[in-house]
Every structure is written in C-alpha cells, then in structure tokens.
Amino acid sequence: MINIAIHGVLGKMGRAIARLANDSNQLKLISAFDTHANLADLSSGITKDILHTSINADALKNVQVLIDFSVPQASISAVQLCLELKIPMVIGTTGFSSQEESIIENASKKIPILKSSNMSVGVNLLFALTKMAAKSLNHRNFQVEMMEIHHGKKKDAPSGTAKTLEKILLENMPLDKNVTYGREGMVGERKQNELGSFALRGGDVVGDHTVYFLGEGERIELKHQAVNRDVFAQGALVAAEFISGKPAAFYSMAQALGLSGEVKN
C-alpha cells in the first residue's frame, strides 16, 4: 500500500482523485490540503482528520507520494517542501511560467517528479499520434490549426494540454514560433507556416482537443473528448503508483502508461 496526499483536494480534480483513491487497493489517502479546507463540504471520501488548510511537514509525515492539482504558486511551494522532505511528486497543475517550470525541472534532479498537463490514456495517445503526424507531414503542403473547448469556469487559456500539443507541433514541423491565438478583420492570406490555436469556453465541457492538418483536397483531424474527470483522476493514481520508489528524474505520463512515442508534457 502506497500512502498518498493530495494538494488542492477540494478542486474538481482533487475530489475525483480522492474518491477513486478511496476505492483503490494499492493507494491510501492519508493527508489532503486545500486553502478552502475550513469551508469544506466533506464529500468524495475526504474526512476532517486528514484535511489541512495549508501544506506542512507534519501532515506529510509517512506520505510516499504527493499529488498536486493546485495553482502554480501553491504548487511551487509544495515542490520546495517535497524537495526538503524527499517526497516524490505527481504534478497535474498547469499555467506555470518558464521560471516556475525551471524550478520543477531542477527539483527533479533530487526527487522523482512526474509532471503532465493531462493524465488520461487517450490524451497521451493523442500526443503521440500528433507527433507522428507532424513528423510525417513536416515537408508536405499541410497547414495546422488547433481548437480546444473547456467549461466556462476554467481560468487559463490555452489549456495545458493545448500548450503541449503546440509544443509537439512546433518541435516537429517548420512552423512560426509565434502562435496565432485569434483572428479578426482583414488579416490577409494565411501563411503556410502559421499555427493557429483557439480556446472556446462554456457550459460544463470537461475537455475537447482537436488538431487539424489541412491539405489540398484532404484533411486529417486528431481529436480527443473527455466526458468526465475520472479519466484524468485514474491517470493521476497510475502516475502515483508508477513514481513511488523511482530514482530522482523528470518522468512523463507516457512512461507511466507504457506508451511508445514518449512525449514529455
């Protein structure tokens, strides 16, 4: 049995992970953290005895893996504490600055860290297929566009998953590094090396991501739709099992899922 803690447990993802962890035969939730703990509606199997307002060393005693789905600033604080206590981390938080990304990568030299913008099996397969398509079409006359849709309460845009897809495309096709995030008015003819990435927000959409390879007389669409958060929560628990006992390194979700065509995201 692996003892885990969840940072950001009262968010949508945190609650889903807690609920599934309580049904697991491999993992045991022994500590949970959220700044709104004092106002908590104790659902999803989260109990008062394990819930804390702020992450701290005492509450991390006996924790073997910390799963982080919080916000960037809080996540970096958790990284620094786990670094001090030598606790492995699974990070699903998105929206980090380049400086914060560097802090995480440097920490992975001393503790095992698995960081992913999306932990579902399907999305990680989408990453691998996008890389394969990009490499195959990088000298062909195809233009590339992306679209993602999320619920109206999502705070960041583009999504972390969309940013990973952008990174894959930019690394594997001769595209302009300045991504186009919107078009309006007389913008002129589309450039061949342009990458368009668009974010739609509304309703209760869990997450849709589509990559379009648009050619003359044909187009290829790679699409993933999530209908509930359990696919991400299950992936986070798989990641926690995978990283427990691993040596210090920066791990990918592709490694945890045993997918070929590894993509760090």
Tell me: the pLDDT tens digits for 127-140? 999 999 999 998 88
Percent of the chain past pLDDT 90, that is, above it, reads 81
Contact 35, 53 (CB under 8 A): yes
Residue 18 CB contacts under 8 Å (≥ 6 apart), including other chains: 6, 9, 29, 32, 44, 45, 46
Is 52 marked active-site? no
Report, as an integer, the average pLDDT of 38-62: 80
Q: Which of 12, 28, 135, 154 is catalytic?
A: 154
Surface-to-core class of residue 179, CB atoms within 10 Å of its CB (0-12 exposed, 13-18 middle, 19+ buried): middle
On the question of pLDDT at 161 being above 80, the answer is yes
Tell me: the pLDDT tens digits for 136-158? 998 889 999 999 999 999 988 99
pLDDT band at 261 (very low <50, low <70, confident <90, very high): very low
Domains of the chain: 2-119+229-257 (3.40.50.720), 121-226 (3.30.360.10)
**Amino acid, res. 77:** S
Tell me: the pLDDT tens digits for 186-205? 999 999 999 999 999 999 99
pLDDT band at 265 (very low <50, low <70, confident <90, very high): low
Contact 192, 117 (CB under 8 A): no
Model pLDDT, residue 44: 59
Q: Which two tokens mark 163?
A: 């940013």
Is 209 marked active-site? no
pLDDT band at 6 (very low <50, low <70, confident <90, very high): very high
Model pLDDT, residue 114: 97
pLDDT band at 39 (very low <50, low <70, confident <90, very high): low
Report, as an integer, the average pLDDT of 211-230: 95
**Cα–Cα nearest to 148, from 87, 196, 107, 188:** 196
On the question of pLDDT at 183 being above 90, the answer is yes
Q: Which of 150, 163, 209, 224 is catalytic?
A: 150
On the question of pLDDT at 222 being above 50, the answer is yes
- DSSP-assigned letters across all residues of 46-114: --GGGEESS--TGGGTT-SEEEE-S-HHHHHHHHHHHHHHT--EEE------HHHHHHHHHHTTTSEEE
CA distance 220 to 239: 31
On the question of pLDDT at 93 being above 80, the answer is yes
**Amino acid, res. 75:** S
Model pLDDT, residue 103: 97
Model pLDDT, residue 62: 95
On the question of pLDDT at 263 being above 70, the answer is no
- DSSP-assigned letters across all residues of 133-183: HHHHHTTSS-EEEEEEEE-TT--SSS-HHHHHHHHHHHHHS---SS-B---
Surface-to-core class of residue 132, CB atoms within 10 Å of its CB (0-12 exposed, 13-18 middle, 19+ buried): middle
pLDDT band at 220 (very low <50, low <70, confident <90, very high): very high
The single residue listed with the structure tokens 């049995």 is 1
